Amino acid sequence: MNILSIISIVLAIISFITILLTGLKTNLLRDANKPTAPYSISRFQFWAWTLVICPAFALNWGFSETHEPTLNLTSLILLGIPAGVTISAGLIASVHKSVKSDGTTAKSELDGNSFWSDILMDDSGQFSVGRLQNLIFTIVFIGIYLSGFFYSGMNYPDFDETSFVLMGISGGTYLIGKGQKK
């Protein structure tokens, strides 16, 4: 094992711990910047993919033959889809917040419950199959990504277009559910 491989392992561990603790110890995963706000599934997904891909980036750099820092298209898309969903969900929430005139309170203004109930319940407090589907696909795709990455000797896996379409449909289903006026 050469010095760059060792440095990449240290960088991967530091980035993983930093991202993990930032998500767990701050309000990053919540709808609003207060400790009692509900957890956000879109923020969780964006955080989870960042937690996976940043350390993978460091490991790929240290273990590749050329030692050039690179990302493949799959990794960029896997970061981009949840980033777009998170931004869109925030826009939808702000529009809902600005047009609520019936005296009800937006979910982001309410106190959160538990992590799991917050991310699986829609803005009206009902269980959401779209959110469950989105969560399951995220967990499955992260497992596939990590197993492919480590099985191939720290090389990025390549997903095909249908995988991205599936992730897009899952994210779109969540956004449509969030955008519906309850």
pLDDT in tens, 132-153: 988 999 999 999 999 999 999 9
Judge whether residue 99 has pLDDT over 80. no
Domain of residue 114, residue span: 3-179
Q: What is the pLDDT of residue 17?
A: 98
- Sorted by sequence, the CB contacts under 8 Å of residue 97 that are 6+ apart come out as 106, 108, 109
Q: What is the pLDDT of residue 170?
A: 86
Question: Taking the mean position of all CA atoms in its chain, how far away is CA 127?
Answer: 20
Cβ proximity of 80 and 87 under 8 Å: no
- Mean pLDDT along residues 22-49: 91
Judge whether residue 62 has pLDDT over 70. yes
**94 falls in which pLDDT band (50, 70, 90)?**
confident
- Mean pLDDT along residues 155-168: 92
Percent of the chain with pLDDT over 90: 59
Cβ proximity of 107 and 42 under 8 Å: no
Q: What is the pLDDT of residue 128?
A: 86
Judge whether residue 56 has pLDDT over 90. yes
Q: What is the pLDDT of residue 34?
A: 83
* Residue that the structure tokens 């590749």 belong to: 64
Q: Which of 2-37 are b and which e, b meaning 16 or more Cβ less than 10 Å from the residue's Cβ?
A: eeebeebbebbeebbeebeeebeeeeebbbbeeeeb
Structural domain tally of the chain? 1
Q: Of 64, 28, 83, give the one whose Cα is nearest residue 152.
A: 64
Q: What is the pLDDT of residue 108?
A: 47
How high is the mean pLDDT of the chain?
88
**101 falls in which pLDDT band (50, 70, 90)?**
low
C-alpha to C-alpha distance for 89 and 175, rounded to whole angstroms: 6
Lowest mean pLDDT among 46-50, 77-81, 95-99, 118-122: 95-99
Q: What is the pLDDT of residue 156?
A: 95
- Mean pLDDT along residues 10-21: 98
